[in-house]
Amino acid sequence: MSDKRAKIAIQKSGRLTEHSLEILTRCGLQYSRGRDELVCFGENMPIDILLVRDDDIPQLVSEGTADIGIVGLNVAEEMRLALPEPERDASFENLGGVSYGHCRLCIARPADEPFDGPQSLAGKRIATTYPNLLRRYLDANDITNVEVVKFSGAVEIAPRLGKADFICDLVSSGSTLRANQLEEVLNVMHSEAVMIRHSGNQSNHHNDWIDRLVQRMEGVLQVRESKYIMLHAPRAALPAITALLPGSEGPTVTPLEGCEEKVAVHAVCRENVFWENLEALKAAGASSMLVLPVEKMLA
Contact pick of 44, 152, 173, 201 for ligand PRP (by CB under 6 A)? 173
Closest CB 129 distance from ligand PRP, rounded Å: 6
By rule CB under 6 A, what string of x and - marks binding of each residue 176-215 to ligand PRP? x---------------------------------------
Binding status of residue 171 toward ligand PRP by CB under 6 A: yes
Pick from 296, 288, 240: nearest CA to 266 = 288
DSSP string, 123-144: T-EEEES-HHHHHHHHHHTT--
- Cβ distance to ligand PRP smaller for residue 176 or 207: 176
Contact pick of 48, 54, 169, 218 for Zn ion (by CB under 5 A)? 54
Neighbours of 151 (CB within 10 A): 19
| CB 65 within 8 Å of CB 6 | no
Beta strand segments in 43-102, E? 47-52, 68-72, 92-97
By rule CB under 6 A, what string of x and - marks binding of each residue 117-156 to ligand PRP? ------------------------------------x---
Question: Burial level of 57, CB count in 10 A (0-12/13-18/19+)?
Answer: buried
Q: How far apart are CA 216 and CA 225, in angstroms?
A: 15
Closest CB 28 distance from Zn ion, rounded Å: 29
Closest CB 81 distance from ligand PRP, rounded Å: 17
Q: Amino acid identity of 62?
A: S
Q: Pick from ligand PRP, Zn ion, none: which does 99 bind, CB < 5 to 8 A by kind?
A: none
3-state secondary structure of 170: strand
Closest CB 180 distance from ligand PRP, rounded Å: 9
- Cβ distance to Zn ion smaller for residue 54 or 77: 54
* Residue range at the interface with ligand PRP (CB under 6 A); choices 77-85, 139-147, 164-172, 269-277: 164-172
Contact pick of 17, 19, 55, 247 for Zn ion (by CB under 5 A)? 55
Closest CB 157 distance from Zn ion, rounded Å: 16
| CB 275 within 8 Å of CB 265 | no
User: What per-residue string of b and e applies to 20-33 under the rule 16 or more CB within 10 Å gives b?
Assistant: bbebbebbebebee
- Cβ distance to ligand PRP smaller for residue 75 or 269: 75
Pick from 136, 73, 63: nearest CA to 102 = 73
- Cβ distance to ligand PRP smaller for residue 6 or 164: 164
Contacting residues toward ligand PRP, per CB under 6 A:
14-15, 54, 153, 169-176
